[in-house]
Structure 1
Amino acid sequence: MSVQERLNVPIGRAAENWSTRPDCRRVLVVAHTVTAMTRLADILPVFDSDLRVQLVFTRARTSNFREGVTEYLNDLGVAAAPWEQAVEEDFDLALTASYGDDLHLIKAPLVAVSHGAGYNKLVRPETRKPGNPETRKPGNPETRKPGNPEIPDPAAAPGVFGLSGETLFRDGVLIPSAFVLSHEEQRERIRRSCPEALPAAVVAGDPTFDRLLAGRRWREDYRAALGATGGRRLILVSTTWGPTSLLGRFPEVLPRLLRELPADEYRVVFVAHPNAWHGHGVWQMRSWLASCERAGLVVLPPRSGWQAALVAADHVIGDHGSVTFYGAALGTHTMLGAFPHEDMDPDSPIAAFGRAAALLDEDRPLADQLAEDAARHRPDRFAAFTSQLTSVPGGSAAALRTLMYRLMELDEPAAPVRTVPPEAPVPVSLSWPARAGIAPLLVATEGDAAEVRVRRFPAEPRAGAGAGPAGAHLLADASEPEPRWYESADVLVRTEPVPDPAAWAERTLSEHGACRIAAAATPVEPGAAPALTAAVRAAGLLRLTVHGAPPDFPVEAATAALWHAALAGADLTAPATVKLHLGAAQAAVAIEPLPDGRPAREDPARGGTGTAGATPARAEDRPRI
């Protein structure tokens, strides 16, 4: 049903005669934005299993980021009333996670909660003029250089959104019957800025942070869902919305991380504020991120997944958004890519955290800064600030239920309230032909004929960004749709089994003049070691069998052992075993000539060891292995 259609049940003209539970307490849930609705969704389990309570939802009209709310409510399957009907009806309670619209018209006690980690942003008038190029430049280096931040003068600063008279009062009347604070420090800020609102302030903790705490039991499951297996370190990159956000000021952080970090040692996950997704459009955001997604970036959808990713993360890179502060509060190593001190209440815990956390220097390699700062990190590094996130860790749901049932004049249920851990993350993903199963990789090897260390880097972020690792060769999936990668690949792999892998490998090698190795997955018995059948130019057919590898080991990595063995001058006509190190994993790759193997046709005019840079050299310009 559209949120524009008036309801007849459970409110409306037919409600009294047609409702299955006509005598319920009625609760109105006001959704201003997707962000506000996700926060309210963290609270709604306080009403679980109570047949005495009926919830009705409505979409507020005035937010600049209303897009996505209707779809969210439809997906939840809730009873949704248009705003005009919602303010006509009587309710026993109303909930909001934002201000704006005519909340004072609602006929119910109103409980207001923050839609983020406390109350931190200053209320500022809209001063930026559309089309003014000086105000629209992303990544202005003068606004994000490490150093002493410019701190607003508290005496001259505007009020804090959610804690000031500008947001709490309408025509001299306090809008909420109760507004929820997460920590006692916010009560002190209210006392200083708007003491007349103090009687309505209730400290009830942070329900979202409690969900994060509850999710720590499932950390390994969340990591597996995000691909952080095999010893990979998970980096969560988080951006809020607006020109002062990480995406607004330092968008290069994503391709640079992907370019600098080995793909088998790190997993980079990206979460953007719902206002960024719905302000610009989901299609536009995916379009902006497309090359990074093709290079292996894990992108989470706007409503969910970020909570689980925070629990799973080893590192967080963010800005002044709540996700970054939650990461620091969990004790996770956290750095900043941007932080607009001028937009924040200088007395807020997030502002203090922003002054203490390390800010990435865009003029230095990001991987080096990440490693250096992580070496100095302790879980309690920011505890002086993050301890002010909640006064009742683990107890927010119980405190909120007590407040809400008191306002409804209803006894609380006998059963304890549930705190639900985050859902397992489900990233958005590109599929063929937008990308192949394996992203093009620049593969660097180091070692000798018996033992080799392999590091693989996404090739796409290096396009136009200088040379790749010295001596690297280019590996591409046989299904790679982009000609520049497919046609210049030194190694082509097919990880899906084919009926005759030897014939496929030989045919691919003969048709692809630049390719030196073509390898296809070989069918094996259940429980047997995974294997590839490889055709090698001037060396014939070989079997590569991977022994002792962890379950998630990428079988195509075995071609790096073959490549390096050939470069080291190994005799490929005799069986050999190469110990292969890939990130934290290791395996033994057995290289065996097939009994009826025959040399693949050699074309002396072609051949090569691959690309060391992002623009692959012509095949005829590259030396042969």
Structure 2
Amino acid sequence: MTRDGRDWEVPELKGIRAGLVVVHTIPSATRLWPIYCMLAQANSGVVWDFVVAPDRYNAPVLRFLADRGVVVVSWEDLVKGDQRRYGIALAAARDGLELLRMPVIQIAHGALREKWTPLSAGAGVLMPRTRYGTGVDFGVHQGRTVARYLVQAHRDEVDALDPELRSIAWTLGDPMVDQFDGHLDMRESFRADLDIGCGQRLVTVTSTAGRHCLWRDWPELLHRLVTELPQHRYQVIAILHPHLWYAFGEDLLNALRPSLRRGLRVVRPDDDWPVPVIAADWVLGDHGSVFHYATRSSAALLTAAFHHPSVYPGSARSELGRLVPSLSRMDQIEARLIEVAHPDVRRLYAHAGERLSSEPGAFAANVRRLVHDVLKVREPTVSACLPPLEVPRLITG
């Protein structure tokens, strides 16, 4: 149904259906890209265009798409023109979706929706905040939902939605959970590709973005790791949220240089960050999605700068922050790593990853089925599979 209440006719041109991939930021781009690959490779009867939607962090997206050689249409031309070419749109963020006329499938760009809504700057009166991505302020515009289908990773997420959004909620699973699970048996291969030597241990460090995150609240931790851990026994790889790169720019790289010279390696912001998580012996992280996804790996976990006030109370992320042991500034790092690797400690959070998806292994099939139902086109007979992870390029000293 269109915004004015009329049924949306699925367009067709010479037997070809067309879909639109709406990309806001690098995190949404890396979320949607494997989904697009899965859909495009399975059915040549559906063509896909991309569009860069409005967002304060959307500047790097055009280069991301240009590097991959896809068709990119202008956002301004799209919203002002005839959108009837497209029978469906995929998105992993919110801004501007109310301007689209075709049915939109909206997917979370990270693990679940378990943080508070961001607190804006300014001198206005503070108002009660809500759980991000679950309220009518997020999903409704002028009396109509901005998406036709709101994809949830776990059935428990549906209960957290405002009643107005539950009718459009579809529990389809999580693509990153499925990619993690599908590559766990490649851990040793990934370690070899990352040049982790025999007898060496890998410590992977993750930071989200925002006012409170590991990089902003404990920026010296990376340097402590590469200086206090013996280099012949340990390697350290950092995964920094793409928004940190685009917020701080060259200043971020300059701040990292002393650690890079001591052996730190850093994943580029648009590469496959799950690989060094799967390969890790330990993952240190804050309250971001990457650390939550690390619960699917075999690594021992240790929180660092986990900002509990940023996480919605009672959520799976909140429970994760309570169960996983923390690293303090007073700790001797190697001794703490050895301590938290003990099986008795790891049993405390052994089941934390189960709350990331109630449809493990089924996301690709579920989404492909929904997309083809919306487009009113026969689904391919080949199995729905997300593309394999690639070993990331690493920034070194």
* TM-score w.r.t. length of structure 1: 0.59
Aligned counterparts of 2:56 and 2:210: Cα–Cα separation in 1: 12
Alignment-mate amino acid for residue 363 of structure 1: M
Q: Report the secondary structure of 2:21's partner residue.
A: strand
Alignment-mate amino acid for residue 182 of structure 2: A
Match of 1:119 among 104, 113, 129: 113
Q: Report the secondary structure of 1:26's partner residue.
A: strand
Alignment-mate amino acid for residue 310 of structure 1: V
Alignment-mate amino acid for residue 143 of structure 2: G
Aligned counterparts of 2:197 and 2:345: Cα–Cα separation in 1: 23
Aligned-residue offset at 1:124: 3.3
- Written as runs of structure 1 = structure 2, the 5 A alignment for 1:73-472 is 73-87=65-79, 88=81, 89-90=83-84, 91-101=86-96, 103-127=97-121, 158-190=129-161, 194-281=162-249, 283-376=250-343, 380-430=347-397
Higher relative contact order structure (alpha carbons within 8 Å, sequence separation ≥ 6) = 2
Q: Report the secondary structure of 1:270's partner residue.
A: strand
Q: Which residue of 2 aligns with 1:514?
A: none
Aligned-residue offset at 1:396: 0.8
Q: Report the secondary structure of 1:269's partner residue.
A: strand
Shift of the 289–416 alpha-carbon distance from structure 1 to 2, 3 Å rule, reads: same
Q: Is the 8 A contact 1:267 1:297 kept in 2?
A: yes
Q: Is the 8 A contact 2:204 2:238 kept in 1?
A: yes
- Deviations along 1:179-214, whole A, 9 cap, x unmatched? 100001101112xxx112111100011101111111
Aligned counterparts of 2:335 and 2:218: Cα–Cα separation in 1: 17
Aligned-residue offset at 1:369: 1.6
- Written as runs of structure 1 = structure 2, the 5 A alignment for 1:469-548 is none
Matched, 1:59 2:27: no
Aligned counterparts of 2:389 and 2:319: Cα–Cα separation in 1: 28
> Larger deviation: 203-212 or 222-231?
222-231
RMSD, matched Cα = 1.8
Aligned counterparts of 2:52 and 2:241: Cα–Cα separation in 1: 19
Alignment-mate amino acid for residue 338 of structure 1: A
Aligned counterparts of 1:227 and 1:377: Cα–Cα separation in 2: 30
Q: Report the secondary structure of 1:277's partner residue.
A: helix
Q: Is the 8 A contact 1:331 1:378 kept in 2?
A: no
Match of 1:36 among 19, 25, 28: 28
Aligned counterparts of 1:233 and 1:251: Cα–Cα separation in 2: 22
- Larger-Rg structure: 1
Q: Is the 8 A contact 2:21 2:91 kept in 1?
A: yes
Aligned counterparts of 1:404 and 1:383: Cα–Cα separation in 2: 34
Aligned-residue offset at 1:95: 0.6
Percent identical across equivalent pairs?
30
Aligned counterparts of 2:354 and 2:347: Cα–Cα separation in 1: 9
Aligned counterparts of 2:177 and 2:352: Cα–Cα separation in 1: 15
Q: Report the secondary structure of 1:215's partner residue.
A: helix
- Deviations along 1:476-526, whole A, 9 cap, x unmatched? xxxxxxxxxxxxxxxxxxxxxxxxxxxxxxxxxxxxxxxxxxxxxxxxxxx
Q: Which residue of 1 aligns with 2:43?
A: 50
Q: Which residue of 1 aligns with 2:6?
A: none
Aligned-residue offset at 1:128: 6.2
Shift of the 405–379 alpha-carbon distance from structure 1 to 2, 3 Å rule, reads: farther
Q: Is the 8 A contact 1:305 1:427 kept in 2?
A: no
- Deviations along 1:94-144, whole A, 9 cap, x unmatched? 01001112x112121100000001111111331368xxxxxxxxxxxxxxx
Q: Which residue of 1 aligns with 2:4?
A: none
Q: Is the 8 A contact 2:179 2:386 kept in 1?
A: yes
- Deviations along 1:62-101, whole A, 9 cap, x unmatched? x221121111011111100111222232210001001112
Alignment-mate amino acid for residue 30 of structure 2: T
Q: Is the 8 A contact 1:120 1:345 kept in 2?
A: yes
Q: Is the 8 A contact 2:19 2:89 kept in 1?
A: yes
